A and B are shown apart, each in its own frame.
Chain A
Amino acid sequence: MSKASGHMRTDLGKVRFRGAAGSGTAHFWQQRVTAVGIGLLAIPVLVIIVMLLGRNHAATVQILGAPLVAILMALFVIASAWHMKLGMQVIIEDYVHNEKLKLAAILANQFFSFAVGVVSLYAILKLTSGV
């Protein structure tokens, strides 16, 4: 980019392996890592959710507060929040072409996904100490 930056690195050297998003394959890789994580957790988590159907508050708290259940749920919401942030960003980049709007949407998605993860994690921790 700048011609006289005083560095020996060529323009090609600076962009190599980084791709159009400017961050190389990090996004792609993290999407895969989180996918495998959620994939391992999805079936047990779904069974837990169906098991909770129709139960009263006390029973629900007891199940969700059990150590193994709480840890599974916590791992699931962390991986999900990260994976859904990455996935929605790809969708935004595909369909939103106005640069400013795209930036706003990407930030909103990032913050919102993070908030969903933190809220869920807070609730799980609170449930483990009894409500």
Chain B
Amino acid sequence: MTSRIERPLSPHLQVYRWTLTMAMSVLHRATGAALYAGTILMAWGLLAAAAGPTGFATFKAFIGSWFGLLVLFGYTWALVYHLLSGIRHLIWDLGYGFGAQERFALSRLAAIGSVVLTLAIWVVGFAVGGVR
């Protein structure tokens, strides 16, 4: 193997002024990684339910605790945020929305929309079923 040549590196994250689109990009990656963990949690929950009442009780004790509910609420927001932010990516993939104004509007829509939609899902979830 040939040894690596030390070439000059381009400036990285820390030298740029933070912008909304940049923060959104970092958050898209962060929520993607968080959802990875969330999918594992979902596998545990499904397996616990399939295992029977005893296994399920352990899972329920966790997910029903304040910490578990917080994690689940966080998972909901992460998925909704990543979804809306992802739709932004798909719009860009199709070649639209690259103007300065459009990029900003799309990003703001996704950021605000994620909070609104997350709350709506929890309200609907509780209205249709949920703890009583």
Contacts and interface: CB of A to CB of B under 8 A. Distances in A.
A60 B50 CA distance: 10
Given A60-B56, A77-B39, A50 B80 contact: no
Interface residues of B, number: 43
Most chain A CB atoms below 10 A, which of B43, B56, B57? B43
Nearest to B84: A39
A116 to B, nearest CB: 5
Given A47-B125, A80-B39, A116-B39, A123 B76 contact: no
A39 B35 CA distance: 13
Interface stretch (B5-13, B19-27, B85-93, B101-109): B85-93
A123 B43 contact: yes
B39 A123 contact: no
Interface residues of A, number: 38
Q: Is the interface of A mostly helix, strand, loop or mixed?
A: helix
Contacts of A81: 39
Q: Is the interface of B mostly helix, strand, loop or mixed?
A: helix
Contacts of B50: 122-124, 126-127, 131
Contact of A77 (B42, B64, B72): B42
A39 B86 contact: yes
Interface string A13-26: 00000000000000
B131 interface: yes
A50 B126 contact: yes
B43 A57 contact: no
B28 to A, nearest CB: 10
A53 B39 contact: no
Contacts of B132: 54
Nearest to A44: B121
A84 B34 CA distance: 10
Contacts of A52: 129-130
Interface of A: 32, 35-36, 38-39, 42-43, 46-47, 49-55, 57, 60-61, 63-64, 73, 77, 80-81, 84, 87-88, 91, 116, 119-120, 122-124, 126-127, 131
24 contacts: A38-B83, A39-B86, A42-B83, A46-B80, A46-B121, A49-B42, A50-B72, A50-B76, A50-B122, A53-B72, A53-B129, A54-B64, A54-B130, A54-B131, A57-B52, A77-B42, A80-B39, A88-B36, A91-B33, A116-B40, A119-B43, A123-B50, A131-B51, A131-B52
